[in-house]
Structure 1
């Protein structure tokens, strides 16, 4: 009897779970065949660019490097108050000196890493199994 009750309970559970599934097709999703194609791009008939003449001087005036820097960093555009404050705090008044003026300065604090850093940078590529120490071991 217990077997019969457990089989009946299992079949009721299976039938109730199968009723949770959707019957038929779910048409709530987009139809992949109903996608419309867009017309290709066409050059307008009044296209006014003229190809350059052979041997003619370039029409773009100025240095391309300066143009790139102006495009990236805004050139001479007015800065906001917060941007100006940030640049002042970063030291734009001394930025014109650059790092090269500080390198040879005797007051510049440097850390001597001896030959260890040089050996690490000059180490050959590989898995390190054939590596040999070039500095004396103390």
Structure 2
């Protein structure tokens, strides 16, 4: 049995090697050595930039916080048709204006559900085999 397996393996390898020869179907392949060298990319100098003087204030025109808010919430840019359709499908026309600001406001009234709800939400997933109920001590 072992001898037959080695013979079959040998014949299979010979068959695969024969498929690599040029006597079979001769396909047109790209020449991997016919690659033209391109000039390396060069960043042109920007003559309008000057190095900052020591001890001077930064010259950036916008506040980083404003840039972050524009990136997150779109700034004053108009919405695309697909974004408008998505917001409308999600009920964006019925949302209260400024809801993002109200949610993070410290004066917003929230209900403290207590540690039980927090424990339920933070509980690991499982099949329930290890679940136990807590009984108060008498």
Larger Rg: 1
Work out which structure has the larger RCO, using CA pairs closer than 8 Å and 6 or more positions apart in sequence.
1
TM-score by length of 1: 0.49
TM-score by length of 2: 0.49
